[in-house]
Amino acid sequence: MATAILGVMGRASSRTRPWGQGDLTGGPVDQVFAQVRQAVPGVAIERLAVTRASDDDNAYFLGVGAVLDRVQFDTGPGGQPPFLVETDSCRVGTSEVAEAVAAVSAGLGSGGVGSGDGLP
């Protein structure tokens, strides 16, 4: 995970901003996050905030409760695949929404792909 931008006590640093239900990219990542919000009550999503428009801001941090950096989720531009889901014990790359949802849910402790498992 990209720990360089994470702050103390499991909170993403000021280099992130909350990503709410009304925040949309127009890409498949919107489906991933909508399904994760249904599967994992209380999930919080934050998006990397960049200082220059040309910088890559397609990194998100997901967590539950006070720990917002349990899962790092990266996308292509505009929320497009491929998706990369990373936790402390697992790294999954996929272009499928369902596989991404399963990997994120598992990383948040809500079933799906087991810790350390990869998807085919």
**Residue range 42-99, pLDDT digits in tens:** 999 999 987 776 666 799 999 998 777 899 999 999 999 999 999 999 899 999 999 9
How far apart (Å, rounded) are the C-alpha atoms in residues 7 and 106?
A: 23
| 3-state SS class at 81 | coil
In a domain, 86, yes or no: yes
Half-sphere exposure of 11 (CA within 13 A, CB side): 7
pLDDT above 70: residue 3: no
In a domain, 39, yes or no: yes
In a domain, 115, yes or no: no
In a domain, 116, yes or no: no
Partners of 108 in the β-ladder: none
> How many domains does the structure of the chain reveal?
1
Identify the domain containing residue 59 by its residue range. 3-107
What is the structure's pLDDT at 10?
A: 45
In a domain, 117, yes or no: no
In a domain, 89, yes or no: yes
What pTM does this model have?
Answer: 0.77
In a domain, 19, yes or no: yes
**Tokens (6 digits) for 41:** 């009550």
In a domain, 31, yes or no: yes
Average pLDDT score, the chain: 82
pLDDT above 90: residue 112: no
Provide, rounded to the nearest whole percent, the portion of the chain with pLDDT above 70: 77
